[in-house]
Amino acid sequence: MDFRIIHIEETDSTNRWLKENGEGTMVVVADYQTAGKGCGTNSWESERGKNLTFSMLIHPTDIPASQQFRITEVVSVALCEVLERYLLTVPELAEGLSIKWPNDIYVGDKKICGVLIENRLQGNVIVDSIIGIGLNVNQTTFLSDAPNPVSLRQLLGREIDREALLHDFLETLETVSSSETTYSAYRNKLFRLGKQAVFLDKAGRFEGTIQDVETDGRLLIRDLSGQERRYAFKEVQFVI
């Protein structure tokens, strides 16, 4: 992927910016977003000039729309790989890296990165995919009611070069996109895979164990009665 990289000082949301101004394959990085979007109706908190807030525009002609979850897998695995290299100096942090389904990146029980993927489909074709990434890099105080944010700076106790991190990520993305092990790498990194945990769906709280993520992205949980439950994004929440 040959990305044209555009830096802007401020915009409402880099995902929104790309929807309006994107052309070809490109990355737009903003120092500050006035209306950063999280998943659903959430907003994304990021202090000016402290973190990485960027979006990528790609046209994945080799992925049919029915397999769009592969984009989530590739991006999540690439984020884990790059963050693992930064956290390696503290092995227990690197070991605590995981992907909280579908695409939050966690260190232990804390969220270091969120991803918002917006695909435009036509039949079984992905016309374009906008992949928005909010990575907490140097912020040390979080003001919103986001439940459990953490940054690299907080974990490592030192300032991180955001530009270098962005380039490391884009290189890693390239490698992971052409890797044949991404499917299993994604599942091996899943937060709480195979561990009994508490979840919340529209019927209330229940205990169960994550078994797998299906190829269409649905989460498969076996509850305590042995029943298998399948959930699309937003149909179930983790109780952290």
The 23-42 contact track toward ligand BTN, x by CB under 6 A, reads ----------x--xxxx--x
The number of residues that bind ligand BTN (CB under 6 A) is: 20
The first and second tokens of residue 64, run together, are: 């049919």
Q: Does 116 bind ligand BTN (CB under 6 A)?
A: yes
Q: How far is the CB of 9 from ligand BTN (least distance, A)?
A: 15
Q: Does 114 bind ligand BTN (CB under 6 A)?
A: yes
DSSP for 71-89, written as a single string: HHHHHHHHHHHHHHHHHTT
DSSP for 10-50, written as a single string: EES-HHHHHHHH--SSEEEEEEEESS-B-STT-B----TTT
Which span (68-76, 130-138, 191-199, 214-222) binds ligand BTN, by CB under 6 A? 130-138
Q: How far is the CB of 134 from ligand BTN (least distance, A)?
A: 3
Q: Is 101 helix (H, G, I), strand (E, B) or coil?
A: coil
CA gap 84, 76 in Å, rounded:
12
Q: Does 13 bind ligand BTN (CB under 6 A)?
A: yes
Choice from 133, 152, 160, 221 touching ligand BTN (CB under 6 A): 133
Q: Does 22 bind ligand BTN (CB under 6 A)?
A: no
- 55 and 15 Cβ atoms separated by less than 8 Å: yes
* DSSP class of 235: S
Choice from 14, 151, 172, 182 touching ligand BTN (CB under 6 A): 14
Q: Which residue has the tokens 């909280």?
A: 100
Q: Does 15 bind ligand BTN (CB under 6 A)?
A: yes
Give Cβ neighbours of residue 159 (< 8 Å, ≥ 6 apart): 138, 153
Where helices occur in 44-181 by DSSP H, the ranges are 69-87, 91-95, 152-156, 162-177
Q: How far is the CB of 150 from ligand BTN (least distance, A)?
A: 13
Q: Does 149 bind ligand BTN (CB under 6 A)?
A: no
**Maximum Cα interatomic distance, the chain, rounded to a whole number of Å:** 53
Looking at beta carbons only, is 154 or 211 nearer to ligand BTN? 154
- 48 and 70 Cβ atoms separated by less than 8 Å: no
Q: How far is the CB of 154 from ligand BTN (least distance, A)?
A: 18
For ligand BTN, the binding residues (CB under 6 A) are 13-15, 33, 36-39, 42, 44, 53-55, 104, 114-116, 132-134
